[in-house]
Structure 1
Amino acid sequence: MKSVIPTVDLDVWQTAGPAQRRAVATGLDRALRETGMFLLSGHGIPSGATAEFRARAREFFALPKERKQRYAIDAPYDSGWLEMHPGGGVGVPRAEGEPLPPEPDLHESFYVGPAHRTGDADLDRYCYPANRWPEELPELRRACETYTGHMVRIAEGINRLLAEVLELPADFFTRRATRATWTQNASWYPSLNAVGTVHPGQLRNGPHTDLGTFTLLSRQQGVGGLQAWNEADGWFSPPFDPGALVVNLGDLMEQWTDGRWRALKHRVLAPSPDAPDEDLLSLVFFYESDPDTLIEPLAPPAGAGAGRPPVVSRRSILEKLGVKPGETPALPMPPAA
């Protein structure tokens, strides 16, 4: 069986009639049940905004290590530069059942988040950490803020789209995301010639699921590129459209739908000897919800009836990143089952 990864035109969806929307919703629901992924066109991002952000991010990664080190991340909820690292620790943990290799994943990342502030220093530290913009590259901040403005706009449209597919009120997710936590990540995958040796089992990004509700990915196609997984096909390379975003669901949306939809298990292959100069840079927007949102699994028919327990949005993410419950801010705990 070959998995079908549909493309949804967001602009067309927003103006379509009921019959067309039902047809799109049916195909999208199937893909999210089977794989947890679709492509999004009609999103309205100017191509120049994407190209500018990618170019400015490349300038950052080209800096000497000692200069990037000024912005190094040393906590899992921080913003800044993350050096090549094994899955787990400060990075996103490996998918369940996937071994943690001794060698680092072959990518570097630069992370920023929203500028929202609550007035509670401890809460802001864990939910809205201050961005650390490279002083030597002011253009990076301008390009990133322009791009993330589009990401926040698109995320609201996707929240409405997903609510309609589930036959929920259109604002079901948006009213729980008025001060949403999110992370914009630029990930650089160096070429084989740059990294030299690739150890057995080493990848550019090991198998994992994302932790939030969904992720918006602007990717570059490559021999050592993105792969997705599902039961029917195992690992496969999803379709590539240079003008489309990849949308993949994360753990919180799988939790919210009580297992009806799945968090996408995915990886990025190692740089290949067949393309030793291949150098890729992905722009990855990880979206969540308001940090204190109680994610209560939906009852059937919207939910699958798996009986999962409720979780608090940001607390769930921090704990998966290795932050102990006693170290998290004053976010509510879910009620006892």
Structure 2
Amino acid sequence: MAGRIPEVDLDAWSKASDAERNLIAAELDAALRSTGMFLASGHGVPRAVIEDFRDTARRFFALSRDVKARYAIEAAYDGGWLEMHPPGGVGVPVGEGEAAPSAPDLHESFYVGPGHRTGDEQRDRFNYPANRWPVELPELRAAADAYTTHMVRVVQVVNEVLAFTLGLPEDFFTSRAQRATWTQNASWYPSYSSIGEVARGQFRNGPHTDLGTVTLLSRQRGVGGLQAWDEEDWFSPPFSPDSLIVNLGDLMERWTDGRWRALKHRVLPPSPTAPDEELLSLVFFFETDPDTLIEPLTVPAGGGLGLSPVYARRNVLEKLGVSPDSIPGVEA
């Protein structure tokens, strides 16, 4: 299975001829149809920037619970600290054959979003919620800003690759993502020795798909690490320390009318075979401009499932459990 997950060198892509790109795109298209994942190398994100954000986020999670609680999120779409996630994520089903966990997922998260402002207080609250930076660790903001600046750049390159692969104009996705909604998540997975016995069916992160268009993941290798679903079985994706994992979310599956699939994935529970293993993942969830109408592409670009159109941010918020009547902006 690992051989079916391609690695796209984004720097080489930028210099490639159309003929060379067509060869890359054919392999990429096959992977996105079957699994919804690929690796991105040549992304230009300095390792020092990645490790500085990871190390600084780890220092935040090491603060006392009382301190972290001052920055607790107040809504499902909010910025700040989340102590434990609901089983399987918010509003998304677990995978085939999986019983819903009876206990929360075993990780903490810290959420950061873009600083866009429209002047409409209600729109901004739902689309661009204010970030909550801990005064006890001022360097976290600088580390997060440096990292997310690169993520915004890289995801637009990925969007151009995806557009080419679909035979669309290169700016098809980027032109619809000028003031995009996104969430940068630092997720800390504590060790087995610090948690103790894990409940049956409990995960570090239960089976789910992401809600947006594209997710960029910087992960660490671990015994209790990432697994993906390919409609046959769970498998561990290839690990490359210098690459980002790119996986597609629900909005992209809808946008391609089912040609490409949202990646179903999970993070295994901490294992007694590696009792001191703790991991910290950096997860960039990208959407698109909030009022974008996601109209499923027609054949040949689209998959022909006949999915219905949705407004991007409204669709995400409803899956997060927000009442449709409270969401400002475009009509449902």
* Aligned residue type for 1:313: A
1:236 to 2:235 alignment: yes
1:255-294 matched pairs, under 5 angstroms: 255-294=254-293
Cα separation, partners in 2 of 1:88 and 1:120, compared to 1, 3 Å: farther
1:190-201 matched pairs, under 5 angstroms: 190-201=190-201
User: Structure 1: which 5+ residue stretches go unaligned?
Assistant: none
Alpha-carbon distance in 1 for matches of 2:202, 2:93: 13
Alpha-carbon distance in 1 for matches of 2:118, 2:12: 37
Tell me, yes or no, if the aligned pair for 1:88 and 1:321 is still in contact at 8 Å: no
Aligned to 1:52: 52
SS of 1:71's partner is coil
Q: Measure how far apart 1:332 and its partner are.
A: 3.0
1:138-217 matched pairs, under 5 angstroms: 138-217=138-217
Cα separation, partners in 2 of 1:154 and 1:141, compared to 1, 3 Å: same
* Aligned residue type for 1:264: L
* Aligned residue type for 1:237: S
How many pairs are equivalent?
Answer: 331
SS of 1:273's partner is coil
SS of 2:145's partner is helix
SS of 1:254's partner is helix
1:41-80 matched pairs, under 5 angstroms: 41-80=41-80
SS of 2:4's partner is coil
* Aligned residue type for 2:190: P
Alpha-carbon distance in 2 for matches of 1:186, 1:229: 23
Aligned to 1:111: 111
Aligned to 2:121: 121
Q: Measure how far apart 1:324 and its partner are.
A: 1.2
Cα separation, partners in 2 of 1:330 and 1:96, compared to 1, 3 Å: farther
Alpha-carbon distance in 2 for matches of 1:99, 1:251: 22
Tell me, yes or no, if the aligned pair for 2:80 and 2:110 is still in contact at 8 Å: yes
* Aligned residue type for 2:9: D
Cα separation, partners in 2 of 1:235 and 1:155, compared to 1, 3 Å: same
CA RMSD for the aligned pairs?
1.3
SS of 1:217's partner is strand
The alignment-based identity, stated in percent, is: 66
Q: Measure how far apart 1:331 and its partner are.
A: 2.5
Aligned to 2:218: 218
SS of 1:175's partner is helix
Cα separation, partners in 2 of 1:92 and 1:182, compared to 1, 3 Å: farther
Alpha-carbon distance in 2 for matches of 1:19, 1:211: 33
Tell me, yes or no, if the aligned pair for 1:86 and 1:102 is still in contact at 8 Å: no
Q: Measure how far apart 1:2 and its partner are.
A: 6.2
1:295-314 matched pairs, under 5 angstroms: 295-314=294-313
Q: Measure how far apart 1:196 and its partner are.
A: 1.3
* Aligned residue type for 1:105: D
SS of 1:206's partner is strand
User: Structure 2: which 5+ residue stretches go unaligned?
Assistant: none
Tell me, yes or no, if the aligned pair for 1:84 and 1:108 is still in contact at 8 Å: yes
Alpha-carbon distance in 2 for matches of 1:271, 1:27: 34
SS of 1:148's partner is helix
Aligned to 2:136: 136
* Aligned residue type for 2:240: D
Q: Measure how far apart 1:197 and its partner are.
A: 2.0
What TM-score does the superposition give when structure 1 sets the normalisation length? 0.96
Q: Measure how far apart 1:19 and its partner are.
A: 1.6
SS of 2:254's partner is helix
SS of 2:197's partner is coil
* Aligned residue type for 2:177: A
Alpha-carbon distance in 1 for matches of 2:87, 2:179: 28
* Aligned residue type for 2:184: Q
Tell me, yes or no, if the aligned pair for 1:109 and 1:188 is still in contact at 8 Å: yes
